[in-house]
Every structure is written in C-alpha cells, then in structure tokens.
Structure 1
Amino acid sequence: MLHLRLITPTDRTDEAVRMIERTVGTTHLVVLPGAARNPAGDVVMCDVAREAGDELLTRLQGMDLDRTGAITVEDIDLTLSRRADKAEAEAPGEPADAVLWEHLVEETHEESTLSVTYVAFITLATMIAACGVVLDNAVLIVGAMAVGPEFGPLAGISTSLVQRAPRLALRSLTALLVGFAAAMALTVGFSLLMDAAGLFTQAKLEGQRPNTNFVYAPDWFSFVVALLAGAAGTLSLTSAKSGALVGVAISVTTVPAAANAAVALSYGDTRQTLGSTEQLLLNLLGIVVAGTLTLLAQKAFWAGQRERARQLG
C-alpha cells in the first residue's frame, strides 16, 4: 500500500477528505486540523491501495494541492490491518501491475539528470568495456553493462513521449547524448594511453574475438533483444521490481558498442567504428520504442480497469 500525507488549505480540507472517502481502496484516514505550519493548513493522512493511488493523486492534483499545499507519497513495507486488507481487495487490479505516473516521471527525472556522477559512471563503464573488447573478455563486458547508467535517460525519453513532458524529454536526451559523447571521447584518450603503455594493440582489436565481435556486427537479433530488454526494464520501473534492471543492463549492447567504437576510432579502424556506432544506435532505438509501447499498453490497461470499476460501482 501507499501512505499519503497532505497539507491542505483549511478551506479545501473537507473537499479533499470527501474525495479520499469516495475513492475505492483507501483507509486509515486521519485529519489534523491546523497542524501544518509551512505552508499553513491542515494535515490529512490516509493509506491507499497502490492500484488506486494514481487516480487519487490525479484528483488531488486537480484541486491544486501540489501548489497550494503539499502531497507526499510513501511506500508502506508492512501494514497489519484488516481494513487495509479490505481496501486492497476492493481496489481494481493488482498492486504489482499498478503504475504511479507521477512517481515514474519523478524517478526518471532523477535518473536522467546530466551530472558529474552520471558522466563518471558511464565513462568508467565504457573504459571497462574497452578493456573487455581488446582482451576479448566477456566477463569485463558484462561488468561494464551492469555499471552503465544509460537506462535512466532511455526510460525518461519513453516516459516523456507517453506523458507529453517536453522538459523531461530534453533533459533525458541531453544526458544520453552528452554522456555517451563524453564517455567515448575520454575512452579514445584512454585507449591511446593504454596503447602507449603497450597494454592495447591494434592487432588485438582486429584479431579473432569470438566472445566480443558481436559489438560491431549489428543484426536483427540485436534489435529484438533491445526490444525485449526495453519492455522488461520499463516493467521493472513501473512495478518497483528494480532488481530486474540488472538483467536488463547486461542484455543490451550499448556501453560495449560505444567502447568498441572509441577504441577503433583511436586506431583509425573505420569499419569497426561504423559497425559499433550502428549497433549502439540500434540498441538505443529498440529500448526507447519498446519502453514507449509498454507504457502505452499499461496506460490503456489501467484506463480500462477504471472504466470497468466505475460501471460496477
């Protein structure tokens, strides 16, 4: 379940309380008149089934409480209450399927912010992958995939397309493009440094690499895997199953392709540079397309659930 804490102007409290009471799936309603000081007003708290949370949040925002007061949402790990069990049973759908759109927008907003930490992670991941492609070491490739933070901006682009949020789209696209550009540029320098130290050689890059030659040889399987991974990653975000993101990260060839392109560029290998860049773009496109379609399907599903609930009610 979710715990909602509202700060409401005194003249809007009754309306907010009535709205909560009319929402199927709510319980544990508490009203504290005059308890809020900044901003001044009343404090209203309640618990709501996750599957009913998005509709209630939309209605409360329609009252402008996010501007005149405050709306705070927290996940509840454990509630021992028959009333809570009853509220969850009455709410339409299943908690694991519920999508909190405002939470998704906020989460992807944070994950898609261009910051020093974001650039550091994607650069380090690309450098690890560079070592992996030169040494033909699949373990290093998998490690680099897990470290890479690029799924955040990709999810942000999908969310912005579905929610029509141009600011989130611009922020996500900026983080994605600037992040990869900086990582690849720094990895070119890293490759030249490793070559000067005798640790990287062009012969290793252009030799037989049975474990890692896929990073510069894009095909339809690459796109199919990107689609599947994009759908899985989006579901992991919307259902709070964040552990699945690790599996998604090591399923797509984004960071390794960028690394191979950077190393190949440092040696003037046009064939591998272009092939790796195509692989990178193909995977990015597949993830965004799948993520957007998944969110659209979830939005349509919950719209149907709400309509059926209204008809039954």
Structure 2
Amino acid sequence: MRLVQTLVPEGKHDVVVEALEEADVDYAMADETSRSDYSDIVFVPADADDVETILEALRDIGVERAGYTMVSEVETIASERFERQQDAGDEQGGDERISRDELRTKARNLSRSTPNYLAFTIISAVVATAGLLEDSASIVVGSMVIAPLIGPAMASCVGTVINDDDLFWEGIRSQAIGVVLAVGASTAFAFVYRLGVRPELDLLLLGQVAERAHPGILALAVALGAGAAGALSLTSGADEALVGVMIAVALMPPAASVGLGVAYTDWVLAVGASILVAVNLLSINAAGIVTFWTKRYRPSHWYDEARARRATFERFAAFVVAILILTSFLAVASQEARANAAFESTVEDIADEVVDGDVRSVTVHYDPDFVSPTPASVVVHADAERNGVAESLRQTILDRTGHDIDITVVYETTESAE
C-alpha cells in the first residue's frame, strides 16, 4: 500500500481535481499555507499497482514540472472502503508491481558504489575465500548473505528498459568495480594465506573449489534464475536482500576462486572460474532485462519508448551473443564430465571382472585441463593378491575405452584379535 502526496502548483487546483476524479481514486485535499508557490496538498491512499496510473495522470497535467509528488510505503490503512477497493482490484487481476518511478528510485539507490558497497564486497570476498580454503559450504553461504551484488545488476537492467542511460552505465560500472574488487581482495587474502600457512596446496582437491574450476551447463540455469528472481523482487516491492543471496551464489564464490587460482598460480582454476563469472554476470543481466520488459516497464513518452525498445533489443542481443560464446566452454565441460562419469563406471565394471576377490574401491585420478579434467590414473584396492592384475586392467581399459592410463593395484590384508 502507498500514500501519494502532491504539492499542487498555483493555478493547478481545478485540473488536479479533474484528473483525480477521472482516475476514480479516493483523495483528500488541504490548503497549503506556507506562502509558497503551492495552493494545495493532496493525499491519495492507493494500492501499489495503482500508483503508476495516478502519477501518469498528474504528470500529464504538468504537476511534475512545477510541483512535487511523493510516494511513501504505508504499513496499514484502516478503512473498509479501501479494503473493498482492494478486493475489487484483486478480482480484476492486479499486476503486483510497483510504479516505474519507484522502480527507478530503488534501482538508483542500489546502484551506487558507496563506501559500504565496497566494504561489504571486500568482506564477502575474504569470507568466501576462507570458506573455499576450508572446503566449508556453510562459510561460503555466509559470504553470500553479505554480498551487495544485486543492486548494480538490477540497476543496469532497469536503466535499459526505461531508457535511462545514466542508470544503465552506473549499474555496469558498479558491477565491474564489484567483481574486480572481489577478485582483488580474494587474491590478496589467498596470497597471504599461501605465504604464511600453506605454501603448497592442490586446490582442485577441495570440493568447493573444484566445482568452480570446470563448471557445467547447469551454471547457466542458476544465473538466469537469479537474474529473473532479482528483477521480480524489485518490481514487487519485496525485500531484495534474500534474493540477493541467489545472485551472490552465482558471482561471489567464482570470483573468490579466480583469486585463489591467481594467488596459487593455478591457471586452470583461474581461467575456468573467470569464464563462470563472466557467464553468470551476463546471464543475470539478460534475465533481468527480459523480466522487467515482461512486467511492462516503459518510458512515459512514446519517443523515449521507441528508443528504449531499440536499446533493450541491442543490449539483450549483445548479452545473448556473449553468453552463447562463453557457454560453449560450459557445454564442452558438461559433455566431458558425462564422458568421465561413463569412464568411471566402465572402469569399475572391468575391475570387478578382472580382479579376484572383492574390490574394495576404485579411484580415478585426473589431470587438470582448461576445459575439463582428463583421466590420468586408476587406483584399485583389492583384498586378494594375484600377479599381472595391473597389466590386465590396463589392457582391458585400453581396449574398451581407448584410454591408456597408469594402473595401481593395492592389496589389503587385515588382522584382528578378540
């Protein structure tokens, strides 16, 4: 619910009354007595869905040029009359969206690279890096809660659909600053950790890190869902903080992974995570643009609307082309991951056939690659010793899969006393 308050300029009393009557809204009007250039103060209680219609009516008669119109959120309106109006609006199928002016104001406030924005980004990046090094999902999730990345992404989308170039470029600039700052903070923290704690560390042995080194095509779905959810939260007037966690999921851990890769000179991780950051960032913006456009946010004048339509199409097309190019890496990684899973299954079957006795475990080790890991060796743990098993496994795996890899068979014996 909203309260629209308007300072009516001198000479506009009659046309304001006529506009409000035509809009069929309840209102109250009082004389303005501060000896200013305003004759009246108008109070209009309204549903969030109706605010844009009221503002358009006031804008058409020139109140915006010479007066002031303020929209504030209201917790409760105790009025049976207003409740009946709300029920009637619900029956007609309200769009559940805030006005264009409210949306622009929220997006502008969220887009600025304030000191708090920079500080929260640095803290979030450091916490995410610590979580990756600890291989702790809970710490990584905690870093996402404080990441302020939803604002700039949504600002660039809003600026596109309402033809506000300043807002669009402010959002793009803040996104770039946020990502660069996150990578820089992560790199610095990881470098200090490497010097003081762990000079040597195989990052790809950490589960939270490995999944960002060779991301699959499903990462695209996460980013698109985050962008759409962020836009919907902004248009409905809901608290965007919780949805911001979803956007941080797509950006903060990959950015921290890039920093880890740079600090430990693991360029496979750095390149893979960088591709993931770029795909997610572009996908969030593309999904946000589509969502805002679908919610029918447009400029108020037809000429600006034509320009906004052209800018929306051009920017969305640019995002999609870039996403398709980068997603080809994700598609290859997904295909290779599928092939590796099939290879592991085949190796397990071969081990059961060739090895005498029980096979306790089969482990496939991989060599890192810029696209996806490739099988390098297999370690089989068995409990019955027989000569020539390793060579038989190697040859059978080569015949069935085409991979000629190193085989190690470990025989285990146990002894117990009761």
Give the TM-score category using the shorter length: 0.7 to 0.9
d(CA) in 1 for partners of 2:194 and 2:35? Answer: 63
Amino acid at match of 1:83: R
Partner of 1:239: 236
- Higher relative contact order, chain-length normalized (CA < 8 Å, sep 6+): 1
From the CA coordinates, give the structure whose radius of gyration is larger.
2
For the 8 Å contact 1:49–1:95, the answer to whether it is kept is no
Residues 231 and 44 of structure 1, relative CA distance in 2, 3 Å threshold: same
> What is the DSSP-based 3-state SS (H/G/I as helix, E as strand, rest coil) of the residue aligned with 1:254?
helix
d(CA) in 1 for partners of 2:93 and 2:193? Answer: 53
> Is the counterpart of residue 67 in structure 1 residue 72 in structure 2?
no
Partner of 2:389: none
For the 8 Å contact 1:36–1:42, the answer to whether it is kept is no
Q: How much does 1:86 deviate?
A: 2.9
Please give the TM-score of this superposition, normalised by the length of structure 2.
Answer: 0.66
d(CA) in 2 for partners of 1:87 and 1:219? Answer: 50
d(CA) in 2 for partners of 1:135 and 1:204? Answer: 13
1:259-278 → structure 2 map (5 Å cutoff):
259-278=256-275
d(CA) in 1 for partners of 2:226 and 2:133? Answer: 26
Amino acid at match of 2:10: T
d(CA) in 1 for partners of 2:85 and 2:290? Answer: 31
Q: How much does 1:248 deviate?
A: 4.9
Q: How much does 1:59 deviate?
A: 2.5
Partner of 1:294: 291
d(CA) in 2 for partners of 1:202 and 1:43? Answer: 70
Partner of 1:307: none
Residues 194 and 23 of structure 1, relative CA distance in 2, 3 Å threshold: same
Q: Deviations over 1:20-60 (max 9, x none)?
A: 12114x21x11112335555432111112222111211222
d(CA) in 2 for partners of 1:112 and 1:39? Answer: 34
> What is the DSSP-based 3-state SS (H/G/I as helix, E as strand, rest coil) of the residue aligned with 1:7?
strand
1:1-313 → structure 2 map (5 Å cutoff):
1-24=1-24, 26-27=25-26, 29-37=27-35, 40-91=38-89, 93-94=92-93, 97-198=96-197, 200-206=198-204, 208-242=205-239, 245-250=241-246, 252-299=249-296
> What is the DSSP-based 3-state SS (H/G/I as helix, E as strand, rest coil) of the residue aligned with 1:139?
helix
> What is the DSSP-based 3-state SS (H/G/I as helix, E as strand, rest coil) of the residue aligned with 2:3?
strand
Q: Deviations over 1:112-150 (max 9, x none)?
A: 101111111111111111111122111111111111111
d(CA) in 2 for partners of 1:15 and 1:205? Answer: 69
Amino acid at match of 1:230: G
> What is the DSSP-based 3-state SS (H/G/I as helix, E as strand, rest coil) of the residue aligned with 1:97?
coil
Q: Deviations over 1:80-137 (max 9, x none)?
A: 2122123323447555712311111111111110111111111111111111112211
Q: How much does 1:79 deviate?
A: 1.2
Residues 298 and 96 of structure 1, relative CA distance in 2, 3 Å threshold: closer
* Superposition misfits of 4+ residues, deviation over 4 angstroms: 36-39, 92-96
For the 8 Å contact 1:123–1:182, the answer to whether it is kept is yes
d(CA) in 2 for partners of 1:42 and 1:215? Answer: 60
Of 208-217 and 158-167, more deviation after overlay is shown by 208-217
> What is the DSSP-based 3-state SS (H/G/I as helix, E as strand, rest coil) of the residue aligned with 2:250?
coil
Please give the TM-score of this superposition, normalised by the length of structure 1.
Answer: 0.87
d(CA) in 2 for partners of 1:143 and 1:95? Answer: 36
Please state which structure has a larger fraction of its residues in helix. Answer: 1
- Count residues in correspondence: 297
For the 8 Å contact 2:148–2:244, the answer to whether it is kept is no
Residues 95 and 2 of structure 1, relative CA distance in 2, 3 Å threshold: farther
Residues 180 and 37 of structure 1, relative CA distance in 2, 3 Å threshold: farther
Residues 22 and 88 of structure 1, relative CA distance in 2, 3 Å threshold: farther
d(CA) in 1 for partners of 2:207 and 2:190? Answer: 21
